[in-house]
Amino acid sequence: MAEFTGILSGILVVVVLYLLERYLPKWFGIVPSGLYLGFILEVIITRGNGHYVSLLMALIVGEVILNAIWMNALAARRKKDQQV
């Protein structure tokens, strides 16, 4: 059940970020990426405990997902602006 809750909360975060990035200024997309980078680096520094490879993979995959959401929202905004 905990895995389902984690997946559901992850999907909710992605949806909220996508909606926020469509309606907030274009530069907003860098904020979640920066916060995530800072959080993972803090975890690596303080609580790494030899799990550096898995934490670096989480950093890379998380940044790719956040930046993909940002780029997708920018493309949707550009497409919407062209239609108007």
pLDDT tens, residue order, the chain (84 aa): 668 887 888 788 888 887 887 788 878 878 888 888 898 888 888 887 777 888 888 889 888 988 888 888 888 888 888 886
Closest CA to 58 of 75, 42, 76, 72: 42
Question: What's the pTM?
Answer: 0.74
Confidence at residue 74, expressed as pLDDT on a 0 to 100 scale: 85
Closest CA to 65 of 41, 39, 29: 29
Confidence at residue 53, expressed as pLDDT on a 0 to 100 scale: 85
Structure tokens at 70: 């940002």
Residue in the block written with tokens 């949806």: 15
Confidence at residue 30, expressed as pLDDT on a 0 to 100 scale: 86
Contact predicate 69/21, CB 8 Å: yes
Largest CA distance in the chain: 53
Domain count for the chain, please give it: 1
Contact predicate 14/70, CB 8 Å: no
Residue-number span of the structural domain to which 23 is assigned? 2-83
